[in-house]
Chains A and B, each alone.
Chain A
């Protein structure tokens, strides 16, 4: 049985990097996500939008990684916004006390607009 997919597409929109996630984030895909996202977050002053509009599932490992990488980004004077998440996923961020520790936007476009022209942190 093949591993369940997490397709990761990275595009540059001006000074903003958009990482579009399509699929699921669980224990079987978390390493692939980290391998792509962590180097981006380590770039000084990086502005990153994680477009999660096509994500159907995130488990606790995923919530932890999004927080950790958001912190990494902040330490490098960058910013990371999670965009377009389904309501059912946002509810779990709230259960875990992450809603005030992470930046969210309703859509990818709004997140890109927020970060375009803004300084890092």
Chain B
């Protein structure tokens, strides 16, 4: 069951089943919220892509062996100058600290078709932070800075 909850502090919580067919719903909500926060279209597109890549990683990798797949939770809030998206999952943690970004175009020329997601997330957002509590939850925080008009 999907749910979207908003409160009066500009916080929105989204909870969706951890299945790929819900990615479009996540993108729709995130896109709407980023527009509401005042981002130009180019930044809205970047936020959409980053959140989609992050949720895809959760559903395809963190939840690879889970059956049934747990939910993915998104906590979105915007503060003066900052738009923050926390993506929370209960899956296998990712070794964020040892991540080595791929080099392009060598990455593709070596025959890989995957592995560009985290690179795109970092390219599209201003700050990324990953926190894992083994056995409990993993939290990826994505921050986009909002420039004054």
Contact = CB atoms under 8 A, between A and B. Distances in A.
- Chain A complexes with chain B: yes
A98 B27 contact: no
B73 to A, nearest CB: 17
A1 B21 contact: yes
B53 interface: yes
A10 B41 CA distance: 31
A9 interface: no
Given A60-B114, A67-B113, A96-B104, A27 B2 contact: no
B23 interface: yes
B45 interface: yes
Contacts of B128: none
Interface string B11-25: 000000000111111
Contact of B45 (A3, A24, A88): A88
Nearest to A70: B108
A63 B53 CA distance: 12
Contacts of B123: 95
A97 B104 contact: yes
B126 interface: no
A21 to B, nearest CB: 15
Contact of B105 (A24, A92, A98): A98
Contact of B23 (A26, A67, A96, A98): A26
A26 B108 CA distance: 18
B56 A59 contact: yes
B117 interface: yes
A61 interface: yes
B104 A60 contact: no
B24 A26 contact: yes
B13 to A, nearest CB: 18
Given A60-B116, A98-B105, A1 B22 contact: yes
A26 B56 contact: yes
Nearest to B113: A64
Interface of B: 2, 20-25, 27, 41-42, 45, 48-49, 52-53, 56, 59-60, 104-105, 107-109, 112-114, 116-117, 119-120, 123
20 contacts: A4-B23, A24-B24, A26-B24, A26-B56, A27-B59, A28-B23, A28-B24, A60-B114, A61-B113, A64-B108, A64-B113, A65-B113, A67-B113, A68-B113, A88-B41, A92-B120, A96-B104, A96-B119, A97-B105, A100-B105
Sort A-B residue pairs by CB-CB distance and give the 4 closest, nearest first.
A97-B104, A64-B113, A4-B24, A97-B105
